[in-house]
Structure 1
């Protein structure tokens, strides 16, 4: 199996649950505290709480932060955050949206002009994986920056959380790391030990290959010619990801066809969540829904030699042309 969709579909690991990790207020809970401290030390934060990586979970975070100040959310964040932000507004609270430009980058002028105390923005945009320089963002705003660190971690983030489903393949709780008293202290009995352990183990084995993007890009351009185009500049995306589009087909057609040939790709977060909709991120960049259905994303976690890449791309191109012929009949 050739897996080129790891940022959206993880390599699922077995969950290991032992009695030693169970929590008890009458014991020292050293095994769990060791895991918790590993994450704190690795990312240089002092506090950790767990919460649901879902609309309701992020809404809870918003409601807690709302008591302390104003909130802004970038439209390039995860689906769960976007849904939570919309529900937050529907409850009568105000919130600032940070848009995406046509090239997929965040609108930094809006960040600079936003009078907010908390900013949900990550070092990459969901779906396209266009990079956002959070160090530069911090120069534009005094807001506390809260980021998704599942695919990339920036030391400029003031707090980070993880998408457990994308890291482990299981819809467990997430955890958020922070300093000071950004969020209320969580009693140990409410912490999801299984989730924290699964996140920690997944991050230990997480690895990406940065040597593959340009090789794949060169072969894809050669094989597809004018049928291939780019919504975003590949130089602006994470070094282990490639985002492009194919004309006159829906991405799901090629995704399903290639899966039968054991080549796994994706068109974005909606694909991995089982949502029957095109990339909302591409539409947020100003493209029509029909065009956004052309989007495809690749992630590189393994090194392929040139012959292997050509073989993969040739299968890709063959299946694409078969789909085009069938669609035209």
Structure 2
């Protein structure tokens, strides 16, 4: 099996449940306290909490922050946060949306003009993995930066959260790290200690291959010729990813047929299983829904030699031709 979708669907974690992680009000909880201290020390934060990585969980965070000031959200963030923002607005609260430009970059001018107190923006955009320079964002805005650090941690973030499913394959709680009293203190018994342990171990074991991007791009261009194109410049993306598109077919068709050959790819968050929903991110960049269905994304987390890369590229091309023939009938 060749996993080229692990930033979206890891699905190979081990869920560890130990009585030592059970939180007791009348006990010292030494095991968890050591784990919490190590987690906070690793990323240089003061406080740790957990919350549900879904629309309702993010809505809870927005409602907390909304009492303190103005909130901005980049449309390049995770779908759950995007949905929470829309719900927040439907409740009558004001929210600032930071748009994406045609090249996939976050609109920095909007951030400068927003005068937000808090901004949800990560060091990478979902789906395309286009990098965002958070140091530059700090220079443009005094807003507190809250980031998804599941695929890339940036020390310029003022608070970070980790997507448990993306890291472990299990939908446990998300882990949230922050300083001072940015978020409300959670009752001890409502901290998901299993999630904290599993996410921390997944982050310790997380690794990427940074040297495959250019070779993969070259081989794909070779086998697809004029049938491949790019929504974003690969040099602007995380070095262990590659985002591209294939003309005249839907991404889910490639995802499903390659899955039969044990090659796993994705076309965006929530779409790695070949579901029908197109990439919201590509549409946010200004492309229509039909075009957004062409998008595909690869993640490099294991070493692959040139022979294997060439074989994968040729398999891509073979499946592509088969799909096009079937679609013409």
TM range, smaller chain? over 0.9
Q: Which residue of 2 aligns with 1:7?
A: 7
- 1:47-103 CA deviation, whole Å, 9 max, x = no partner? 011111110000000000011000000000000000000000000000000000000
Query: Superposed, which structure 2 residues align to 1:94-243 within 5 Å?
Result: 94-243=94-243
How many angstroms apart in 2 are the aligned matches of 1:166 and 1:273?
Answer: 14
How many angstroms apart in 2 are the aligned matches of 1:71 and 1:102?
Answer: 24
Task: State the 4+ residue runs in structure 1 displaced beyond 2 angstroms.
Answer: 272-276
How many angstroms apart in 1 are the aligned matches of 2:56 and 2:70?
Answer: 19
273 and 304 in structure 1: CA distance in 2 versus 1, 3 angstrom threshold: closer
- Contact between 2:212 and 2:240, CA under 8 Å: does it hold in 1? yes
Q: Which residue of 1 aligns with 2:45?
A: 45
Q: Which residue of 1 aligns with 2:20?
A: 20
How many angstroms apart in 2 are the aligned matches of 1:82 and 1:179?
Answer: 24
Is residue 2:280 matched to residue 1:280? yes
- Contact between 2:76 and 2:126, CA under 8 Å: does it hold in 1? yes
The alpha-carbon deviation at position 16 of structure 1 amounts to: 1.2
Query: Superposed, which structure 2 residues align to 1:309-320 within 5 Å?
Result: 309-320=309-320
The alpha-carbon deviation at position 187 of structure 1 amounts to: 2.3
How many angstroms apart in 2 are the aligned matches of 1:293 and 1:195?
Answer: 34
Q: Which runs of 5+ in 2 are unaligned?
A: none
- Contact between 2:266 and 2:274, CA under 8 Å: does it hold in 1? no
Q: Which residue of 2 aligns with 1:79?
A: 79
Aligned residues: 329
What is the TM-score normalised by the length of structure 2? 0.99
The alpha-carbon deviation at position 303 of structure 1 amounts to: 1.3
Q: Which runs of 5+ in 1 are unaligned?
A: none
Please give the root-mean-square deviation of Cα atoms over the aligned residues, in Å.
Answer: 1.0
- Contact between 1:4 and 1:265, CA under 8 Å: does it hold in 2? yes
How many angstroms apart in 2 are the aligned matches of 1:325 and 1:273?
Answer: 23
How many angstroms apart in 2 are the aligned matches of 1:11 and 1:214?
Answer: 26
The alpha-carbon deviation at position 276 of structure 1 amounts to: 2.9
What is the TM-score normalised by the length of structure 1? 0.99
How many angstroms apart in 2 are the aligned matches of 1:276 and 1:20?
Answer: 43
- Contact between 1:270 and 1:276, CA under 8 Å: does it hold in 2? no
How many angstroms apart in 2 are the aligned matches of 1:296 and 1:191?
Answer: 36
